[in-house]
Amino acid sequence: MVIDVVPDVDDGVSTDAAQDVDPEAVPERVGPPRPGLLAAVLAVILLVSSTALFLGVFAFGLSGLQEQRSQHELYAEFRGLLDPSSPVAPSIGGAIRPGTPVALLSVPAAGLHDVIVVEGTSPGDLLAGPGHLRDTPLPGQVGESVVLGKSATAGGPFRDIDRLRKGDVVTVRTGQGLFRYAVVGHLAPGSRPVSVPSDSGVLVLGTSAVSGDLGITANSLTYVEARLKGTAVPVPRGLPRTVPSAEIPGHWDPGAWPMAAVWLAGLALVSACTWWLWARWGLLRTWIIGAPVLLGSLWGLGNAVLHLVPNVY
């Protein structure tokens, strides 16, 4: 038997060369850049810029959607309280818990229709809608009632009250009935309405003049005065004599700094964890898990920051 021996064909790659794998030839890793000074700086810049962009979108857009949702819930609650069969009556005076719905406001000439007014005028209270200044009587009661609203953020419900003219109608429904007012004019900053008869009432609507910045001063506030048509109802006892500084027109809430710092720290922590997961899980799985958490952190930070903005802005 003759056995043909086929000589080895040199394919240009030796066995030794095939086994000698160049470490630099390993496919590039998938994920964020390797930790380093440049990567850290770029990550911080990205976080700061995206956070600033979101806060702007939240203040002038998303906070308005949040205000609409709050109004929807407050409207249902207030309608339930006005129902004669309700075991709980609407609050009409005394020490009312901030955030409680106390009135239903309509000012057609300013584009306001069935807007719920809550008790309290802090920046947090006004995120839900116009608020009643707690050391003044409720609308419909004897004396000067003050209702404040935002002009730019949280939907800006009072952005058009400066368009009101003498004779425009304002209607307010409270737990004491339906009251109609007629606009008599605009008040100069720092001025007060003329004396109110003992059996009548005045409603003052206030907001900021939206000068393009957040430097709210007494001169950048605008007020509209309306006189009650008919007889006012008595003021129940227990009206607060003063309110915290955060509820004064044009003021912000200094007590919101700690919460804003907590949300900011939480956002930084969530961002770092997302970066870490991206390096191990890849972009898709990290996005599915991390995006809702990041959005929630940004939303909480946006709410906290709006507490640091003047209440009527």
11-57 pLDDT tens trace = 544 445 445 545 555 555 555 555 567 766 777 787 889 899 999 99
Give the Cα separation of 271 and 296 in Å (integer).
12
Give the Cα separation of 117 and 71 in Å (integer).
9
Per DSSP, 220 falls in state G
pLDDT given for residue 276 in this prediction = 81
Pair of tokens at residue 130 = 């116009």
3-state secondary structure (DSSP) of residue 265:
helix
Residue identified by tokens 């810029």 is 49
pLDDT given for residue 20 in this prediction = 53
pTM metric for this prediction: 0.82
Burial, 143: exposed, middle or buried (Cβ in 10 Å; 0-12, 13-18, 19+)?
Answer: middle
- In degrees and rounded to multiples of 5, residue 28 shows phi and psi of -65, 145
162-201 pLDDT tens trace = 999 999 999 999 999 999 999 999 987 666 666 677 778 9
- In degrees and rounded to multiples of 5, residue 215 shows phi and psi of -80, 70
Q: How far apart are the first and last CA of the chain?
A: 103
Pair of tokens at residue 17 = 């060369």
Nearest Cα residue to 32 out of 43, 45, 16 = 43
CB 200 within 8 A of CB 232: yes
CB 187 within 8 A of CB 223: yes
Domain boundaries defined on the chain: 35-82+89-313
Mean pLDDT over the full length of the chain: 85
Q: What is the CATH number of domain 35-82+89-313?
A: 2.40.260.10
- In degrees and rounded to multiples of 5, residue 222 shows phi and psi of -130, 140
- In degrees and rounded to multiples of 5, residue 223 shows phi and psi of -130, 145
